[in-house]
């Protein structure tokens, strides 16, 4: 059974007060890559543009060939929005930028 130290609780702006536990190493790698990739002002990047920009920054040992990066990107995005580090611009498609 995995050690609890390998897990981290994350939030979801769409479900306030609810948390889930995920792999710490993957989440932190994705969070770091996403924050590095996003500009600090609106209109920011679409999720697809952010993913394209952050994929080369992800460790291949955790995300071989970008595998599962989309799920982890969404998890990091929603957690960072809930914590006030990322803001969305309600356009179609949705755009994101860093605020902290």
pLDDT tens digits, the chain, 100 residues: what are they?
Answer: 456 779 999 999 999 999 999 999 999 999 999 999 999 999 999 999 999 999 999 999 999 999 999 999 999 999 999 999 999 999 999 999 999 7
The CA distance from 88 to 22, in Å, is: 23
Query: pTM (2 decimals)?
Result: 0.91
Domain residue ranges in the chain: 4-98
pLDDT at 100: 75
Backbone CA torsion sign across 21, 27, 31, 34: negative
pLDDT at 94: 95
């Amino acid at each position: 059974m995995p050690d609890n130290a390998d897990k981290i609780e994350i939030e979801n702006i769409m479900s306030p007060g609810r948390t889930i536990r995920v792999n710490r190493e993957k989440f932190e790698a994705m969070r770091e890559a996403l924050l590095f990739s996003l500009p600090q002002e609106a209109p920011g990047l679409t999720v697809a543009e952010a993913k394209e920009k952050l994929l080369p920054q992800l460790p291949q040992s955790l995300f071989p060939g970008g595998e599962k990066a989309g799920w982890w990107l969404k998890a990091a995005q929603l957690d960072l929005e809930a914590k006030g580090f990322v803001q969305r611009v309600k356009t179609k498609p949705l755009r994101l930028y860093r605020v902290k």
